[in-house]
């Protein structure tokens, strides 16, 4: 029996509220310029981020007021639930499946949480079976779109015919902090947006692509590069200024090692599909992977339209790559807290 894992469908979803980059820049100047001495120097990040607009869980006016944990998590529960249902329902419809066909659901998010987890809270509305396997994953950050996809594919591989729904949801804007007068907070205000994506994977059958391999690399002594600090008001961004040069130096060897463990090399990859953390990170990734400047065109288009949505962003890029026509072999790559790199390779099946 053919027991390779196939990637059947991919759907994306975003909240209704739209914030243009010009609006974000104006609001940040109004809220921070009089309180943060270096704001004028940092304000150029809004023009240089390559972002035109992003979607947000709440309207722009919501961010004028301080919010604590309850406000933030109430908003997260409401909007994340809506996006989960929208993205998952569209992915199931594309795969010509019903919710009761799903054996396992993997849900990743690092910008909020509920207990019971979202998959349990929405099981009745979705129509999941009582024996569904649920795997909620927190803390992988921007890497989770690729890491979670890899987890879902490995779970699907465990049994012929097993069908796994993978959902990734991030509401990054809910971490906006009026009280954080820091460089990372201002940069985050210029970069991050909200969104969700869902995929269906199955052991055997036919699909868009075969999930050929997956792997990760954890860099030693890099905990300060990216993450959250948590206090009474909510999440606070940890974002090192050194990320682009780190990526340029370290990403290539890490990807080479992941590929080599799976019997592949960089020369076997027809298209790298990368998480667009920002324009400087994209340029660093192109250099690290020996790609011509500007090669990551889908990535730049996604960040322009949506900003950096953390984990779902890579799947927005993959969705564009599918529409453009997947090459014979593609590799999805993302970096995230840890500091880590994740890679999944896909082989076109049609």
Give the tens place of pLDDT for each residue, 134-149.
Answer: 999 998 999 999 999 9
Q: How far is CA 316 from CA 14, 214, 273, 305, in A?
A: 11, 19, 10, 10
What's the mean pLDDT in 109-124? 94
Q: Which range is most confident: 2-11, 12-21, 60-69?
A: 12-21
104 catalytic per annotation: no
**Mean predicted lDDT score pLDDT of the chain:** 91
- Supply φ then ψ for residue 18, to 5 degrees: -120, 130
Q: Which fold has domain 5-203?
A: Peroxisomal Thiolase; Chain A, domain 1 (3.40.47)
Of the candidates 334, 324, 343, 336, the one whose C-alpha atom is nearest the C-alpha of residue 269 is 343
DSSP 253-311: HHHHHHHHHTT--GGG-SEEEE----HHHHHHHHHHTTPPTT--HHHHHHHHHH-B-ST
Residue 1 pLDDT > 60: no
DSSP 145-200: HHHHHHHHHHHHTTSTT-EEEEEEEEEGGGG--SS--SHHHHHHHHHB-EEEEEEE
Q: Are 349 and 6 a contacting pair, CB within 8 Å?
A: yes
- The CA distance from 277 to 310, in Å, is 8
Q: What is the DSSP letter of 103?
A: S
3-class state of residue 201 by DSSP: strand
Every domain of the chain with CATH number 3.40.47.10 lies at 5-203, 209-348
Residue 52 pLDDT > 60: yes
Cis geometry, peptide bond prior to residue 116 (ω within 30 degrees of 0): yes
What's the mean pLDDT in 103-118? 94
pLDDT digits (tens, 9 = 90+) for 301-318: 999 999 999 999 999 999
Q: Are 257 and 279 a contacting pair, CB within 8 Å?
A: no
- Long-range contacts formed by 290-295: CB under 8 A, 24+ apart: 290/252, 290/266
User: What pairs with residue 133 in β-bridges?
Assistant: 104
Which bin fits 139, alpha (ψ -120 to 50), beta or left (φ > 0)?
left
Domain 209-348, CATH class in plain words: alpha beta
Of the candidates 203, 196, 229, 222, the one whose C-alpha atom is nearest the C-alpha of residue 91 is 196
- The CA distance from 330 to 333, in Å, is 10
pLDDT digits (tens, 9 = 90+) for 253-268: 999 999 999 999 999 9
């Amino acid at each position: 029996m053919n027991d390779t894992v196939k990637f059947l469908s991919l759907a994306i979803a975003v909240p209704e509220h739209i914030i243009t980059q010009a609006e974000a820049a104006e609001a940040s100047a109004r809220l921070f310029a009089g309180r943060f001495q270096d704001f004028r120097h940092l304000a150029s990040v809004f023009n240089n981020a390559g972002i035109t607009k992003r979607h947000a869980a709440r309207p722009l006016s919501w961010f004028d007021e301080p919010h604590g944990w309850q406000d933030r998590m109430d908003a997260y529960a409401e909007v994340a639930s809506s996006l989960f249902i929208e993205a998952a329902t569209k992915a199931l419809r594309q795969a010509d499946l019903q919710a009761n066909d799903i054996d396992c659901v993997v849900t990743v998010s690092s910008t909020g949480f509920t207990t019971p987890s979202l998959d349990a809270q929405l099981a009745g509305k979705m129509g999941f079976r009582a024996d569904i396997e649920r795997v909620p994953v927190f803390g992988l950050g921007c890497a989770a779109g690729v890491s979670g996809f890899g987890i879902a594919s490995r779970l699907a591989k465990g049994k012929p015919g097993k069908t796994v729904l993978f959902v990734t949801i991030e509401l990054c804007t809910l971490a906006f902090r009026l009280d954080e007068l820091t460089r990372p907070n201002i940069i985050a205000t210029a970069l991050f947006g909200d969104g969700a994506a869902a995929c269906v994977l199955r052991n055997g059958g036919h699909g868009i692509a075969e999930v050929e391999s997956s792997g990760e690399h954890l860099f030693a002594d890099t905990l300060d590069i990216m993450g959250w600090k948590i206090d009474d008001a909510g999440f606070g961004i940890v974002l090192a200024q050194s990320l682009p040069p780190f990526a340029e130096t370290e990403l290539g060897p890490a990807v080479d090692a992941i590929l080599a463990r799976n019997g592949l090399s960089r020369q076997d990859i027809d298209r790298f599909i990368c998480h667009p953390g920002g324009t400087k990170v994209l340029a660093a990734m192109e250099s690290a992977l020996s790609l011509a400047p500007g090669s990551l065109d889908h990535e730049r288009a996604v960040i322009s339209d949506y900003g950096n949505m953390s984990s779902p962003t890579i799947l927005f890029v993959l969705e564009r790559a599918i529409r453009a026509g997947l090459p014979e072999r593609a590799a999805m790559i993302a970096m995230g807290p840890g500091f880590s790199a994740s890679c999944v390779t896909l082989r076109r099946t049609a």
